[in-house]
Amino acid sequence: MLLSAFGSLLQLLYLAMLVLAVVAFVFAATAREDAYRAADKKKKSFWLIILGIAVAVNLLIPMLFLQLAGVVASIVFMVDVRPALKEVSGGGGGRRGGSSSDGPYGPYNGGR
């Protein structure tokens, strides 16, 4: 009973690692190439290769050491690279207190 519960927990952990790698790969693939250069990060092809290997390892090779390396790469991308890409792409969201009516030089007031 306890052993099967531990096995189920490990399967959920493996699934979570796979989902994280796939999500990071999709974000890396959808970002613009020039955003990587503007953010002074590695090239887009570098991240696609690294994250693609992470996805492949999670799907094909059940070796925990390699899967953990993929998780580290995915976390680095999600925590460091992706926010930098969003910042240089103008997709920073509302974190900086901006409004949807803000233009490039400040708030747009409709010509008043």
- Give the pLDDT of residue 99: 57
Whole-number Cα distances in Å, 74 to 6, 40, 43, 58? 25, 18, 15, 12
Residue range 53-75: mean pLDDT, rounded: 91
Residue 74: its pLDDT value, please?
Answer: 96
Distance CA 31, CA 88 (A): 11
Q: Would you kindly state where each structural domain of the chain is located, as residue ranges?
A: 15-89
Residue range 2-13: average pLDDT? 83
Q: How would residue 101 be classed by pLDDT, with cut points 50, 70 and 90?
A: low
Quick count: other Cβ atoms within 10 Å of Cβ 73?
A: 18
List pLDDT tens digits, range 15-52: 999 999 999 999 999 999 999 999 889 999 999 999 99
Tokens 């992470």 found at: 54
The pLDDT-based confidence of 6 (bands split at 50, 70, 90) is confident
